[in-house]
Amino acid sequence: MNSFRLAFYTLAAIIITACNQTDKTSKENPTDNPNEEINLDSSLLKETEKCFLAFVGKDSAFLSLKKNGEAISGDLIYQFYEKDNNKGSLKGTLNGDTLILDYTFQSEGTTSTRPLKFLITKNRIYEIYGANKAEEGKGFIFDPADCKTL
C-alpha cells in the first residue's frame, strides 16, 4: 500500500508540473475562457477513457471517465492526507454540461454508494457540492491528465 501511495504521489507531482506549464500557455491566450462550456462533441469526453487529476492542499483525487452512448462510467479515487482514502466506480449520465453519477466506493472496509455531480467546462471538471461548484482551494477541480502515466 505504501508503494502505491509513493507511486501515486510521484506521478501526481510530475503531472502537476506538466499541467502548470500548460496552464501558463493557456493563460496567455485571452480568448480561452476556462468557464466556457464545452461542445459535447469535443475531445473532453468521447468513447475512449479520459483521465483527470485534482489537488486541494495535501488531498488529491483521480478521475477516469468513459462515455458509451448516453452512459458514463469510470473510476474515482480520493487520497486524503492523514484520513481514510476511498476508491470506487462511477456510473451515470451526462445531462447538458452536468455529469450525474452514482459513486460506489470502499472506505474503512465498507461499501457505500452516494450520488455525485460534476460540471464540465472547456478545460476542467468541477465537483458540485449541493448547489455550488468547487472553487480554487475549496473543492476538487479536475484537470486533464494522461491515463497512461497513472
Specify the number of domains making up the chain. 1
Q: Say which amino acid occupies 42.
A: S
For residues 7-16, give the mean pLDDT.
48
Please state the rounded mean pLDDT for residues 50-74: 92
pLDDT at 49: 86
pLDDT at 19 over 50: no
Highest mean pLDDT among 45-49, 73-77, 93-97, 126-130: 73-77
Report the pLDDT value the prediction gives residue 68, as an integer from 0 to 100: 87
Decide if 120 contacts 99 (C-beta within 8 A): yes
Phi and psi, residue 20, nearest 5°: -65, -35
What confidence score (pLDDT) does residue 44 get? 56
Asked if pLDDT for residue 106 goes beyond 90, the answer is no
Tell me the CB-side half-sphere exposure of residue 119, using CA atoms within 13 A.
18
Identify the domain containing residue 122 by its residue range: 2-149
Over residues 71-79, the mean pLDDT reads 93
Q: Which residue has the higher pLDDT, 74 or 136?
A: 74
Mean pLDDT of the chain, nearest integer = 74
CA distance 92 to 15: 27
Give me 47's grid cell. Answer: 468513447
Better pLDDT: 136 or 82: 82
